[in-house]
Amino acid sequence: MRGDSSSGDGFAGFIERLKKWGAPIVVVIGFIFGLQKVFDAAKANIALSVLSVAGVSWLLLFWVYTSKVESLVIKGKSPQFPKLRRLAFPGIIAIPILTLLGFAIADRIEHRPSNKTIILIADFQGPDQKFAVTQVIINRMKRVENN
């Protein structure tokens, strides 16, 4: 029987299966329970979120590029993902460059302070006594600001 200790694989086989499937199961469970904290952190700090996504993407592309598999036809190891490998190398180079370029551009964008409101009031030309709308609005806003 497969799980029986009298079979050939026994406890050593159990440990090998545990090493093979244990890590993915723990990662999936941790991912599911930690997903809410990830979203909360992403809302709080967008720069850290961008860096995290870029880092994980870079690691995935690096893994695709460097993973090898033992080949029976060709002596030695050959790339595990030969078609994706051609796309992974440019991605490994492009992700850090684009991330740094994005942060450099984001630093140059002028951010308006959120505690100030800009109100644009048009000054229409006309008879001041009859249509003094602009000056009335400005005077009322000054009174509200002083209070």
114: Cβ–Cβ under 8 A, 6 or more apart, which residues? Answer: none
Amino acid present at 139: N
Structure tokens at 66: 């460097």
**Which of 134, 137, 133, 120 is CA-nearest to residue 145?**
137
Check residue 73 and give its pLDDT. 66
Q: 54-111 pLDDT, tens per residue?
A: 888 888 888 888 887 766 666 677 777 778 888 888 888 999 898 888 888 777 776 6
Query: What is the chain's Cα-based Rg?
Result: 31
Higher pLDDT, 139 or 40: 139
- Please indicate, yes or no, whether the overall pTM of this predicted structure exceeds 0.85: no
Higher pLDDT, 129 or 2: 129
Structure tokens at 124: 């229409």
In whole angstroms, give the CA distance from residue 59 to residue 90. Answer: 13
